[in-house]
C-alpha cells in the first residue's frame, strides 16, 4: 500500500487522507497503518469523483493503477483539481498489464481538460509515473 509508505515519509508533521471506495480495502489499509504505528493516516470512504473535502485543502494527491478504474477519469481529475491548492501536484501511476490502463497520450488530454499540465513522465518496463501540476485551482497561502 503506497499510502503507508508515504505516511512514513511525511512524519512527523505530514498527514495522509487515504481515499477508497471499497470498504474492505480501506479497512485493510487502516489496520496495516495501525500495525505500523502510523497515527497520521485517516481512512476516508469516498468516490474520487465526489471528494468530501473543501476547495484548496491539499498540496498533493496520487493515484496508482486507479484512474482507469473510475467511471469518469475526467470527473475524477476535475474533482482532485478542486481540492488541490494552486500549483498542487498529482502523481499518476499506470501499469502496462492493467486492463484499465490509461496511456500517456490519453492522460495528457485528461490532464489538460482538468487544468493540469504534465510536468514529468518516467517510464519503466512495467508502466509509467506522471507528475501533473495544477495550473489553476485555489491558492489558500497567505
Which residues are within 8 A (CB) of 84 and not within 5 positions of it... i.e. 6 or more apart? Answer: 56, 57, 58, 59, 60, 61, 90, 134, 137, 138
Task: Determine the average pLDDT of the residues in 16-25.
Answer: 95
Q: What is the pLDDT of residues 93-138, one digit of tens each?
A: 999 999 999 999 999 999 999 999 999 999 999 999 999 999 965 5
**DSSP code, position 100:** T
What does the block give as the cell for 84?
A: 488541490
Query: Domains of the chain: which residue ranges?
Result: 1-45, 48-142
pLDDT at 62 over 90: yes
Which residues are within 8 A (CB) of 29 and not within 5 positions of it... i.e. 6 or more apart? Answer: 1, 3, 4, 18, 20, 41, 43
Topology at the third CATH level for domain 48-142:
Rossmann fold (3.40.50)
**DSSP code, position 68:** G
Alpha-carbon distances, residue 9 vs 40, 95, 125 (angstroms): 11, 23, 26
Looking at residue 1, its pLDDT comes to 64
Amino acid at each position: 500500500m503506497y499510502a503507508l509508505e508515504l505516511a512514513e515519509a511525511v512524519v512527523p508533521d505530514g498527514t495522509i487522507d487515504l481515499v477508497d471506495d471499497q470498504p474492505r480495502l480501506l479497512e485493510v489499509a487502516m489496520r496495516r497503518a495501525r500495525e505500523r504505528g502510523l497515527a497520521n493516516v485517516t481512512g476516508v470512504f469516498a468516490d474520487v469523483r465526489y471528494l468530501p473535502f473543501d476547495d484548496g485543502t491539499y498540496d498533493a494527491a496520487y493515484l496508482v493503477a486507479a484512474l482507469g478504474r473510475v467511471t469518469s477519469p475526467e470527473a475524477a481529475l476535475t474533482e482532485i483539481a478542486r481540492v488541490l491548492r494552486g500549483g498542487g501536484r498529482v502523481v499518476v501511476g499506470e501499469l502496462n498489464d492493467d486492463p484499465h490502463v490509461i496511456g500517456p497520450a490519453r492522460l495528457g488530454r485528461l490532464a489538460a481538460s482538468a487544468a493540469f499540465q504534465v510536468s514529468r513522465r518516467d517510464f519503466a518496463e512495467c508502466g509509467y509515473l506522471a507528475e501533473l501540476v495544477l495550473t489553476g485551482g485555489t491558492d489558500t497561502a497567505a
